[in-house]
A and B are shown apart, each in its own frame.
Chain A
């Protein structure tokens, strides 16, 4: 899979790395069970800090797309599907849109919670 990061973008580098993995899962080029490169390796490859990569991986873990296991590295989970990855992309779009409108993080969470409330 192709990782692309642009240091001049306003999007944090870790999020850009997460977006690259998400995109690869969404278009089917990375499938469940596949192992992502080790954080240290990817950091050296892209010339970014290891913690930046791990921040991106952490985000993917919270989205349920990858599992992080000591010694085994980052592995794409069984539930990670193209549709699931697109959900993360949709969330990114929501956040970007809300920020453009000048909403704070709390307000963005509030919008989502509002949408969930009726159920």
Chain B
């Protein structure tokens, strides 16, 4: 999918904030207009039916003023949050998605609010108000449509230019000389997240029963394991293993690699976040932004690992590749 974009370049900061806030302001305006219009026409019961069961009958009621005020406050809070996020520099590569999420939220809040008000106004009596299931689908569809508009307005996604040392370096290795490169890479933040998750899991195990607690503990342990990883490059290829356990969880055999380079990696722009990421164009372990090894694999995909001294690792891999394929001739 390659959507047409209204801007050849991503929008400026101010414009982005305006785009982020716009749907929430529209949603507030629509909710207030619809509410006030029907209230003054004396068609709204009080309290309103504000929650509906799966069969469409009303099963929850709120005062009309409270309902509209609550919705408006939530919309304003979300709008302010969206505007702030749209300004955050670090999130700039993901800005179209921040905008899309805002537009989606605004629509999925405003549409059900209006539908609820209209259902109450149409029925005259709160208990008689109905909201069939298809109206929920309408709200979701409206949300997706608004989200698509937000994404479109967000402009083209900036493609990170591969910077830093380019080309395929080599290492001067004598014939018969053996070499291996190893280094640990880690994220203190991820370690902290893992620890907190484990603690939360233990707490949950006591409070809410063992199952939920154990699941959370396992998630925390997995995060902790990924927080410090030993990267090894040798005659067998590239291997990733937890720094504390000598068992590789990911191996890229040498014969799957066509070329290794060292380049700067931007986790947010290229992989949408940190951790072990899998994307259409490639996968890899990205625990920070900056220097990393980039392997071009057979089939065209890329495998990256963010690690210091990546240039040496890439050079060693290329040298080992030359050695494994003496007939390559380039």
Interface residues of A (CB under 8 A from B): 1-8, 29, 34-35, 37-38, 40-42, 45-48
Residue pair B235, A47 in contact (C-beta under 8 Å)? yes
- Chain B hits for A48, CB < 8 A: 178
Question: Which 7 A-B residue pairs are closest in the complex by CB-CB distance?
Answer: A45-B180, A45-B234, A6-B177, A4-B179, A3-B180, A37-B182, A38-B246
Residue pair A6, B176 in contact (C-beta under 8 Å)? yes
Inter-chain CA distance A48–B235, complex, in Å, is 12
A2 contact from B235, B241, B246, B316, Cβ within 8 A? B316
Residue pair B177, A2 in contact (C-beta under 8 Å)? no
CB of B192 closer than 8 Å to a CB of A: no
- Chain B hits for A4, CB < 8 A: 173, 177-179
**A to B CB contacts below 8 Å, 27 in the list:** A1-B181, A1-B182, A2-B171, A2-B312, A3-B179, A4-B173, A4-B177, A4-B179, A5-B178, A5-B179, A6-B174, A6-B176, A6-B177, A34-B184, A35-B243, A37-B230, A42-B180, A42-B182, A45-B180, A45-B234, A45-B235, A45-B236, A46-B179, A46-B180, A46-B234, A47-B235, A48-B178
Q: How many residues of B contact A (CB 8 A)?
A: 23
Inter-chain CA distance A6–B172, complex, in Å, is 13
- Chain B hits for A40, CB < 8 A: 246
Inter-chain CA distance A40–B178, complex, in Å, is 16
Inter-chain CA distance A89–B18, complex, in Å, is 64
- Chain A hits for B182, CB < 8 A: 1, 3, 37, 41-42, 45
Shortest C-beta distance, A15 to chain B (Å), equals 15
CB of B283 closer than 8 Å to a CB of A: no
CB of B232 closer than 8 Å to a CB of A: yes
1/0 contact trace for B176-203 toward A, CB 8 Å?
A: 1111111110000000000000000000
Shortest C-beta distance, A12 to chain B (Å), equals 14
A1 contact from B183, B236, B241, B243, Cβ within 8 A? B183
Nearest residue (CB) in A for B235 is: A47
CB of B255 closer than 8 Å to a CB of A: no
Given A1-B181, A3-B179, A45-B236, 4 extra CB contacts under 8 A: A1-B309, A2-B179, A4-B177, A6-B176
Shortest C-beta distance, B233 to chain A (Å), equals 9
